[in-house]
A = this chain, B = another copy of it.
């Protein structure tokens, strides 16, 4: 078993990394299948191949887990994805959702050389346009600031928008439409007990977000900073 690096394998590794929980790092093949929109049979099959390549631990009926080698490759795909996103936003000024869609395909192309040049052009950024951390070329993640989800933010306090989960393109488009951008300041006005929706003030405009949306927004405290 030698060599690898196909688009399909890269997507499996990346997705395993994205799905895994911090504690139990095991990912069921069925869960993987759902995310990748392929049959369960296909993921079982691939699990065996990735195992033979030393990229995952795998025991039938017990799910997969990335090995150190597999995780490094996964982080490299993620790095490529996020650098492409930031690069396209900086140069072509695309929107959150547009950039994500393109990066989904470009992440598998581009040599390491090109990615490093993009990294250099962007001055070695720590975060991508959604606030997601960008692994460096050694696969190390930048230190992340303390953040809370909007669902858990304190009423009355001021925050900066630090990260927007980009697993749903519709949401990204909606937030873009509202004029929301990363690093904007935000004040939590109130939280409705009935449905856990949150009222916030951004740029002197008030917005109400459902719990489902609030869950996707991560904030860092703006205490002692410019208001």
Contact B118 A92 (CB under 8 A): yes
Q: Which of chain B's residues have a CB closer than 8 A to the CB of A106?
A: 106, 109-110
- A1–chain B nearest beta-carbon distance, Å: 25
By DSSP majority rule, is chain A's interface helix, strand, loop, or mixed?
helix
Q: Does A18 contact B (CB under 8 A)?
A: no
Q: Which of chain B's residues have a CB closer than 8 A to the CB of A108?
A: 109
Q: Which of chain B's residues have a CB closer than 8 A to the CB of A98?
A: 113
- Contact mask A108-132 → B, CB, 8 Å, 1/0? 1111011001100100000000000
Copies held by the complex: 2
Query: What class of interface size applies to chain A in its complex with B?
Result: 10 to 19
Q: Does A206 contact B (CB under 8 A)?
A: no
Q: Does A176 contact B (CB under 8 A)?
A: no
Of the candidates B92, B111, B118, the one whose C-beta lies within 8 Å of that of A101 is B111
Of the candidates B109, B113, B114, B121, the one whose C-beta lies within 8 Å of that of A109 is B109
| Known contacts A102-B114, A105-B110, A109-B109; 20 further A-B pairs (Cβ under 8 A) | A87-B91, A88-B114, A91-B91, A91-B121, A92-B114, A92-B117, A92-B118, A92-B121, A94-B114, A94-B117, A98-B113, A101-B111, A102-B110, A102-B111, A105-B109, A105-B111, A106-B106, A106-B109, A106-B110, A108-B109
Q: Chain A residues in contact with chain B, CB under 8 A?
A: 87-88, 91-92, 94, 98, 101-102, 105-106, 108-111, 113-114, 117-118, 121
